[in-house]
Copies of this chain bind each other. A is one copy, B any other.
Amino acid sequence: MRRLSVALVHHPVVGRDGAVMTTTVTNLDVHDIARSARTFGVSDYFVVHPIEAQRALVARIVAHWTGDGRGLSRIPDREPALSRVRVVATLADACTAAGDAEMWTTAARPRARSISFDDARAHLRDDGRPVLLVLGTGWGLADDVMERADAHLPPILGVDTYNHLSVRAAAAILLDRLVGDRCAR
């Protein structure tokens, strides 16, 4: 199994109008994706933010649940999840720290050069480079991130064309599709 990491990008992402922007940190993004990451054996969960004060906020959330913060004694189950969070300034930093990883992206719209989930599952089991699954906040990753990606996963579709999943829900489904236990089905 290749090493699998996840990155949640707050910049560069696009806003409602399609312009490149920076989003603020959402507390439950830190918790939910860390818990999903731990459940599915993700080695590192990178929270990517260019603003120092926002990185400090994430570090403080993590310390509350892992270090000598009061959260650790209140809900000890959060420690194995939150301890996988790494706070970095840029996506390039995340790629390097993930072991010079390939970048796999996903988006609500279909892209050229996309690989199926079945192929992606198989690739994760070959001897290739580590993989960084890159998720965008806001209205999704900026085009230049998409263009630098090594592979695109297909959009998660339900019953029709509505696919406005939260990034927390999308991360959970992606990890289940990529590494979830299919025998339990």
Spell out A's residues near B (CB within 8 Å): 16, 28, 31-32, 35-36, 38-41, 75, 77-78, 80-81, 116-118, 154-160, 162-166, 168-173, 175-177, 179-181, 184-185
Partner of A158, one of B75, B157, B166, B180: B180
Partner of A117, one of B156, B170, B177, B185: B185
Most buried by B among A16, A160, A175, A177: A177
Within the complex, what minimum Cβ distance (angstroms) separates A119 from chain B? 9
How distant is the Cα of A38 from the Cα of B154 in the complex, in angstroms?
19
Contact call B168/A118, Cβ cutoff below 8 A = no
How distant is the Cα of A181 from the Cα of B163 in the complex, in angstroms?
12
